[in-house]
Amino acid sequence: MSKIIHERNVKAVMRDGTKLYADVFRPDGDGRYPVLLQRMPYNKAFLPLSSLVLDPIAAAHEGYVVIIQDVRARFASEGDSFYIYKNEFMDGYDSVEWAASLPYSNGNVGMFGLSYMGMTQFQAAVMQPPHLKAIFPITWGTNVFMYRGGALELGLLGSWSLATIGPNAVIRAKKGKEDFIKEFMELIHAIDNIETEAFNRLPLKDSEWMKLGEGYASFVHDILNHDRLDEFHKEISVIGKEDQLKVPAFTIAGWYDCLLDGNLKHYEGLKDQEQTKLMIGPWVHASFQPAVGELNFGLSASSMLLELKTDLTSLQLRWFDYWLKGMDNGITKEAPVKIFVMGENKWRDEQEWPLKRAVYTPYYFNSNGNANTKDGDGKLSKNPPVMEGYDRYIYDPANPVPTLGGNHLLPAHYPRGPVDQQTIETREDVLVYSSEVLEEDIEVTGPLRVILYAESSAVDTDFTAKLVDVHPNGKAYNIADGIIRAKYREGDEAKASLIEPNVVYRYEIDLLATSNLFKTGHQIRVEISSSNFPRFDLNLNTGESMRDSDSMISAAQRVHHSEKYPSHIVLPIIPRPAT
């Protein structure tokens, strides 16, 4: 197409009469074209965000109508105060059918977008609008359950609700009123001072952040009040509704993405459906650059030249060309799963996820009782321990282990992805277990978990685990991590159950998943501690939460490694051909 038309604030009326507004990019002419729809809460008019994963102008030149819509109660669209995901099932259905009815539409609709805009695709698809033919969700949300192992994803909830949702929410609620400037400046102060005004303010319910939640983002309080995977979360979630999804889905996730947990769980429910694809790269959330954290994974990891073949926009258009235009371009015949093997820094086609050929191999913790810091005597070995032993440390909530890299969505001054952990490993409250220097490459691809036998002097506490790749120069890059809250050790749906002090319990810590080649000359390392703050909220060791209490105590922790209590990590090792 030589010319395109850009229309602003095109109206769509939902079933309850609420008007949602969209910007439209379409070919100039009288023809009818397939539609690509994105529904977002981040301002459709801000092109750097609305075109982050797909260039609407390029798509329009390729014969698509691209519609970018503000969801209910955000920016140009009507609606009462915004509530995360709550209205996107019905509004998604209505928006798809509206898009199909436009005079320049041929009735075939696809959806695209990442994060929140990925969830809106699945929510619309669950409702089975007849004109929705395919979706392309990227690092998508799946629910509002912002807890890992019972610990609150404090950084994610605080940063997103304050800095991302807050400003427009306050403007819509208060603009033109006497207290607008006061309220808006209070919000800006909380955003600019998020550590003191949100993360470190105890109890959390008295923080500046919570004031926002009272008036303009009530979902924050609801999420904090529902720390179990109950009906509140299940109603909003798309996990568990996979049998209602009938459209082909090409999904993309990231090894260092804050939404990886939900993405992989959701894919597990989707994978048996016809034409569901999964691609997992080395990325953090909403970034598709080859440089991730402190490592460079090479040009093939860039959205500009994925697999050294194509860019992200073109990949999506290939998918939609097949399902919306009927072009037999071979994309459906390609492998259903593509993974990026970090360390080797190569893409690989697979037929399933997790990989059936993975050999789940325990690597056991051992020491002479002094595994504290990287200079301690902690060992990681395939040989089970036989002698009675344990390591000890003091967890002080007033001096937590700081978040350093990983799968978080904290403010930009917190680095994400792989970051050298050596400063963390100098702390006495971090136990470090390292393998011998590897004499051959070891590929670890698949789900990861740590089985920890531990005791605490407290009635509740946390234990954290981190898998680390130690390079020959001593740099120690985090690969994956996890956390478990003692009182929620029975799972996300179980009720809280405090522990008995100084009694050994078995904990299972989910480190999600990875694909990493630990090269010859490297070491495999596991770190054990009790905090990762402010990514996760603090355990006060009292049985009370940060939300409700400002009282905290230190806890004496013991991590056991013996024949009776064989603490270990389970690594999914992929057999590789001899070189």
Helical axes 180-192 vs 208-215, angle rounded to 10°: 130
Tokens of 66: 């691209």
Helical axes 166-174 vs 180-192, angle rounded to 10°: 170
Contact 401, 418 (CB under 8 A): no
Contact 571, 448 (CB under 8 A): yes
Q: What angle do CA 298, 477, 573 make, to 5 degrees?
A: 85
285 has catalytic annotation: yes
Tokens of 536: 């996760």
Catalytic residue (choose from 233, 266, 285, 560): 285
Report the alpha-carbon distance of residue 546 to residue 550 in Å, rounded: 7
560 has catalytic annotation: no
Contact 563, 386 (CB under 8 A): yes
Catalytic residue (choose from 91, 94, 227, 257): 257
Q: What is the separation of C-alpha 283 from the centre of its chain, rounded to a whole number of angstroms?
A: 11
**Mind giving me the DSSP string for 91-140?**
HHHHHHHHHHHSTTEEEEEEEEEEEHHHHHHHHHHHT--TTEEEEEEEEE
457 has catalytic annotation: no
Catalytic residue (choose from 105, 115, 159, 456): 115
Contact 95, 39 (CB under 8 A): yes
Q: CA 43 → CA 69, 75, 377, 530, distances in Å?
A: 8, 6, 53, 39
Find the radius of gyration of the CA atoms of the chain.
24
Residue pointed to by tokens 């002094």: 370
Catalytic amino acids? Answer: 115, 257, 285
